[in-house]
Amino acid sequence: MDAAALDGTFSDPASRSAVLDDMAFTADGGLRAAFDRGDVGTPAAGSYAVTLSKETISPWLSAFGQRVQQQTVTPSRSLDLGASHTPTQAVPTHTASGDDDTDCKKVKCVALTFDDGPAAPETATLLTYLAQYKARATFFTTGQNVAAHPDLVRAAARAGNEIGNHSWNHPDLTKLGAEQVASQLSRTSAAIEAATGKAPALFRPPYGAMNTQVRAATRLSPVLWDVDTEDWKYRDAAKVAQTVISKAGPNDVVLMHDIHPTPVAAVPRILRTLTARDYHFVTVSHLRATL
């Protein structure tokens, strides 16, 4: 690495922010940061990677960073739907600039979708990332979390994102009776409409589990996915980002979650890389309507 190049890059806040967007915790709680060679030395193809130990970085971490680190070291799939969280940051107030006229027949589109939220502070952080790239996404929310965080759902919708139904508390709908299925979906739709002023048009069955009874219980249009990041399993931001970057193609629907810090931390790299490849980030309904 070149000391002068490092000083030049990190002395400018804008350059520093752009360079430090490819970082991820390691399995033992350390931090791996990757840099383009041109940012930290003589311009050339490829990149540098630096890994710092858990002991080195822990004193530098914010409360949010400590949560990301802890969930990386001790992964769990628990959704923690029962607890109400208090946001540690302001709810974003981004407003959509108008109707999105992106024609997915003419340009490359991808639909990022986020399940199980909203959650604080993860969803608020995610909305800020999306707004920075003028990207839109679809949030498949659980009714219980919508009721706990209506402000986050409202903020997501106001920014031009789509809000979908993901049941009230994430059961396998195929194992419930018809009335229970209907209740899971109708209660959630009501919560979404109360928060946003608009009833959802889409639903994603928990675990992707669906049968004829589930279909018959609602008029909502079901949505599955083309790319599954398995972000709940790996809790590795770099792996999540690489999965999307390497597997997502035109008009694909990508499955992620906004209840864990690590997939949210992967989003800036995903947005930056796919934007450079001329992708447009649209909602599922927009994608369907323009194909």
Which residues are known to be catalytic?
A: 115, 257
Q: Report d(CA 42, CA 61) in Å as an integer.
A: 30
For residue 198, what are its two tokens?
């608009």
Q: Report d(CA 228, CA 232) in Å as an integer.
A: 10
Only one residue has tokens 């108008």, namely 98
**Cα within 13 Å of Cα(264), Cβ side:** 25
Cis ω for the linkage preceding 200 (within 30 of 0) = no
CB count in 10 Å sphere of residue 272 = 17
Distance of CA 199 to the CA centre of its chain: 22
Q: Report d(CA 52, CA 24) in Å as an integer.
A: 11
Q: Tell me the chain's radius of gyration from C-alpha atoms.
A: 20
Q: What SS3 class is residue 87?
A: coil
Angle at 153 between CA 134 and CA 156, to 5 degrees: 5
CB count in 10 Å sphere of residue 115 = 24
CB 281 within 8 A of CB 245: no
Q: Report d(CA 111, CA 287) in Å as an integer.
A: 7
CB count in 10 Å sphere of residue 60 = 9
